[in-house]
Structure 1
Amino acid sequence: MATKLGQQLRRLATEWPSDPLRPTLQLKTLLASLADHPRLTQSAVQAVRALQQNAFAKRLSVPEKILKPASMPQHYARLAEGYEKSLKGIGRPWWKIFFGVW
């Protein structure tokens, strides 16, 4: 049973997307190494599968009040924009960082 679970976890690890911002630290490497763990359980494999399929975000909706807090309504949109730009190698100029301009 443990080898069957290990095979399932290894397959999930190979399908896991790579993190372009941290090429030396990948979750898929951790999952592949956990596939050989002697105490690997079915619930652990199911949890990885649920994370990969984004099951929790589909089941639980996040309220708009959390996504756009009153103190900084554009915070998460700016965070996502910064992530996308960093993947393209686009950085913010020093003066925007210094003055807090987005």
Structure 2
Amino acid sequence: MATTTAKQYTRLLSLWPKDALRPNLPFTRAIEHRAAPYGVQPLTPVPHVDAKPTPSTPPHPKPKPSAQPNPQLEQAQLNALYSLLEDRYTKKYALSPRVLRPTSAPDHYTNLMDEIERAPQKTWWGAKMDEWRMKIRWS
């Protein structure tokens, strides 16, 4: 049963979409941490910092060793992750067009999605210019 759990986690990690907004902090790291007791290896190596912690920054606590992994209990976690991956809730609880296009700002969510898609390609200067443009009201 544990090998099945490891295979399911490995498949889930291979299917999980890449995070373009935060490539340095992907959700797959949390999944890899959860799957580690079942022998699943991380897809990408976690960067190792050799610097010693300074007194002002506390050291990262070591994870507490948990009890023996329980594949039966882990199945519920896997099912939840697969439901997110497959967008089951978006399909089951579809939003009406009125929610996504409110009368007060009909293009708000469209503009937001456009901005999210452009964000990974922006330079620091481009992001600052956009930030300043948002603060100045053009009449």
Instruction: Quickly name the TM-score band, shorter chain normalised.
Output: 0.7 to 0.9
Give the percent of matched residue pairs that are identical in Structure 1 and Structure 2: 29
Q: Which residue of 2 aligns with 1:85?
A: 118
Q: Is the 8 Å Cα contact of residues 68 and 74 (structure 1) preserved in structure 2?
A: yes
User: Partner residue of 2:25?
Assistant: 25
Report which of the two structures shows the higher radius of gyration computed on alpha carbons. Answer: 2
Q: 1:42 to 1:21 in 2, by over 3 A?
A: same
Match of 1:7 in 2: 7
Contact 1:2–1:41 at 8 Å: present in 2 too? no
Normalised by the length of structure 1, the TM-score is 0.79
Quote the RMSD (CA, aligned, Å). 2.2
**Structure 2: tracts of 5 or more residues without a match:** 38-68
Aligned mates of 1:31, 1:65 — CA distance in 2: 35
TM-score, length basis structure 2? 0.61
2:133 alignment partner in structure 1: 96
Q: How does 1:16-95 map to 2 (within 5 A)?
A: 16-37=16-37, 38-39=69-70, 40-89=73-122, 91=127, 93=130
Paired residue total = 101
C-alpha distance 10-33 of structure 1, shift in aligned 2 (>3 A) = farther
Q: 1:95 to 1:41 in 2, by over 3 A?
A: closer
**Alignment partner of 1:50: what SS?**
helix
Report deviation, 1:53.
1.4
- 94 and 58 in structure 1: CA distance in 2 versus 1, 3 angstrom threshold: closer
Contiguous gaps of at least 5 residues in structure 1: none
Q: Structure 2 CA distance, aligned partners of 1:4 and 1:100?
A: 57
